[in-house]
Structure 1
């Protein structure tokens, strides 16, 4: 029972930490063995139903010749075995076998993101740490580990990825360098001077003597990167053409952007920090909070809607571009809204709201006005044929149905009810915490991520063979 509770606490912490990091609800599951005696069958811990649709893929994996348990007997492990089977594009899987964990097969929802998957590796490896303790020690240790995963592990995860790719453990001072650099970058981005955050670019190299950059304008005396005020003033001297250069924990000068390419690039924009590692976007840091770099949300008119798919190609493109920009703005600024995408006869719709005397054309110049109107309580009515804003603060009504989720709140359910009674209308709902739902004819046409409901701890977990055969 204690092992089940420990797994539950750690999995909840992992889900919470990943949800905050990716900005969208993220589920996790675990197939594991904590004892050599369980080598022939494993326990399945999946309280959110994440793995249900992947049963055939998981079954096929365990029956394949490549399955890790077949290759390595648990009681004969001499070194850590780690592999990442590719089961699905939207499910990340990491398997580890060692004397410490015996067998762990972790699953995490994989969202579209520009950040590297090596971040997921580190999240999972940190999740394993509290489960390495003997059963007698797991209670306090697991609670601490689960809480750290939920609240503070993002710093450790990003540091480990930077250290792994840039400051290797074999390099003297590597761990200290990565820690100092990351803490200093956060402090530089967070502290405001004269009322605003700093802007500029800092290129960072490790202290490897064989790979030092040629600095165009070196400083006579290097400045430590943790001298925050000095570094902030230096950053004001950078521009689109120049960047500040650091070697490990020291600022050494300025260089033309095109003359050197650094392993780690820190871009500051009025207090928001974006890290790029080996030319791959790593993460963003704002007000001390780490976030993955999210791929832009995309409305797929042809595959996600029926009424809008009948629009001509040029109109489809314009609608998609504008809606995508608005939804991305709403998700980035964390406000909820409801869009009524009307392909029928908008002028004849009877809506209770603020109707504009002259509809406003939606374009780059009016995007800010439109997004501000979306923040007002109520829905925004759009004529998609002309791409005009017709009304805002619209109240939606309709009869309740069997498919409603009352726990989702008024915005979600009123949108679904209105959609049920309205033809030639796509109703798109953006929730404040990220999820996007598209309704058409009262039915859910598309869901961009789901909520994680995971409060129940299962003390009795099915064995793998039993779970695979269950319906």
Structure 2
């Protein structure tokens, strides 16, 4: 047993796993983390997967095992040498090798609603460099520090990714300071004006490229609002509220109002009330809300609905239409911040559901009918939609017998959908809560329910990768 196998080093690794999982969970939603590692050149590979993230990927990892071994057998460099992405479905991975640590590969989940993988990759990259640093000196002095830093790395990961992308577009010689820009975005997003949340866009342009901006109105240099004066910037933002115009900033001040095409490397913050989005050259980087940056694109996660429709007997055309129109209603309900329930009736002859029926069903392929459906969704009760994408009724009452999966913390709308789908076949219910979560329910089971993962244990001995992939 080498020094690397002592409980001290094992605890260092698990501390980083724990901090990384916790930080990513706050940034992107509940996230598991796994690590494949080789501690010394002539030592075997170990897998640390305390929450079973890599289950099901054994065949692919078995194919990659030889390439991992080849990495260790080559001459190792003192600086970190990134490895090729193993490209496991549904996972984001980053790893590499150096003389301090011959091989490490980190994995985490790629959530369906993620804006960009870039910040998460920078996060994994930092975890890898932290582990190398721990192994190059007395880990006892760094154990907890690494975990704490990784827990709160969101803004740093976004900043690192933006700098990388802007360097590719503009070269290394850039002057727009990213940390103050990100701080200003969060500060303005939390500043109300006469009780109203901010709306509008601010474009942060590389200073030397301001001459290429199509200004509609510019401010004298000595009178430009300072970006650190959040109240002044918030007031000025009203000038572009509900328009296609931008406030233009060089990262220090607001230079004026513009429209049209923006120079490369421009960061745009779109304020949409109590939340917003950050883009870089039309690439969505992240969102923000409640003073935090988040990975979500704020679109409803309806992957389970898509899968349920795929497994049903409806035709591909019907499946596409149902998913498209259902998504529109769900998005509108979330934007308006009201709850609603949609019942997708996949039976050839739709069921009779108590509620307000329509003399002539509304064809949801017509835009005006989608608008009506979105408005009717605000009425208490459920929308009844056929498999041919017609709205049959609204304010429908869902009843049924009690089922084991009921959760009183979720309210009557959720539990009624559980009971109704348990009682009736070929029914899918989508429940939108007023606080934004979306639940897809079928056969009395919530398809979107998340499993409770066991906490990371510091005492478990990691298995050999060779044994794990052959189980």
- Do Structure 1 and Structure 2 share a fold, with TM-score over 0.5? yes
Aligned partner (choices 228, 244, 263) of residue 226 of structure 1: 228
Query: Cα 1:120–1:289, aligned 2, differ >3 Å: closer, same or farther?
Result: same
Matches within 5 A, 1:154-303: 154-166=154-166, 171=173, 177-207=177-207, 209=208, 211-215=209-213, 216=215, 217-221=217-221, 222-238=224-240, 240-258=243-261, 260=263, 263-292=266-295, 293-294=297-298, 297-298=301-302
Deviations 1:253-299 (A, max 9, x none): 33332365552112223343321112201111122121222555456
Unaligned runs of 5+ in 2: 1-6, 363-368
**CA offsets, 1:177-235, max 9 Å, x none?**
2111111121112111111122222221234x4x4533434432144321223322332
Give the corresponding residue for 1:49: 52
Consecutive unaligned residues of structure 1, counting only runs of 5 or more, are: 375-379
Q: Distance in 1 between matches of 2:316 and 2:257?
A: 52
Closer, same or farther: CA 112–357 of 1 in aligned 2, 3 Å:
closer
In the superposition, relative to structure 1, how do residues 101 and 46 fare at CA in structure 2: closer, same or farther (>3 Å)? Answer: same
Mapped contact 1:263–1:278 kept (Cα < 8 A): yes
The residue matched to 1:226 in structure 2 has which SS?
Answer: coil
Question: Structure 1, residues 121-146: CA drift from partner, whole Å, max 9, x if none?
Answer: 11212334553325996567444543
> Could you tell me how far 1:326 is from its partner in structure 2?
4.0
Aligned length: 443
1:367 aligned residue: 374
For 2:365, the equivalent position in structure 1 comes to none
1:94 aligns with 2:99: no
Is contact 1:189–1:268 with CA below 8 Å preserved after alignment?
A: yes
With normalisation by structure 1, the TM-score equals 0.78
Residue 387 in structure 1 maps to residue 401 in structure 2: no
Q: Residue 195 of structure 1: SS of its match in structure 2?
A: coil
Corresponding residue of 2:134: 133
Trace 1:394-405 onto structure 2 (pairs within 5 A). 394-397=398-401
Question: Which whole-Å CA distance do the structure 1 matches of 2:403 and 2:94 have between them?
Answer: 46
Greater alpha carbon shift after TM alignment, 218-227 vs 429-438: 429-438
Which residue of structure 2 lines up, in the alignment, with residue 105 of structure 1? 105
Against the structure 1 CA distance between its residues 291 and 425, is the aligned structure 2 distance closer, same or farther, given a 3 Å change threshold? same
Indicate which of 13, 17, 26 corresponds to 1:20. Answer: 26
**Are positions 1:32 and 2:30 aligned together?**
no
RMSD: 4.1
Alignment TM-score, normalising by the size of structure 2: 0.78
Is the alpha carbon distance of 1:44 and 1:307 closer, same or farther for their aligned partners in structure 2, counting shifts above 3 Å?
A: closer
State the SS of the aligned residue for 2:324: helix
Equivalent-residue separation in structure 1 for 2:416 and 2:198 (angstroms): 43
Aligned to 1:377: none
When residues 450 and 302 of structure 1 are mapped into structure 2, their CA distance, relative to the original with a 3 A threshold, is: closer
Q: Distance in 2 between matches of 1:357 and 1:437?
A: 23
1:204–1:247 contact (8 Å) kept in structure 2: yes
- Give the deviation of 1:28 after TM superposition: 1.9
The Cα of 1:347 is off from its aligned counterpart by 5.5
Structure 2 vs 1, CA of residues 302 and 464 (structure 1 numbering), >3 Å: closer, same or farther?
A: closer
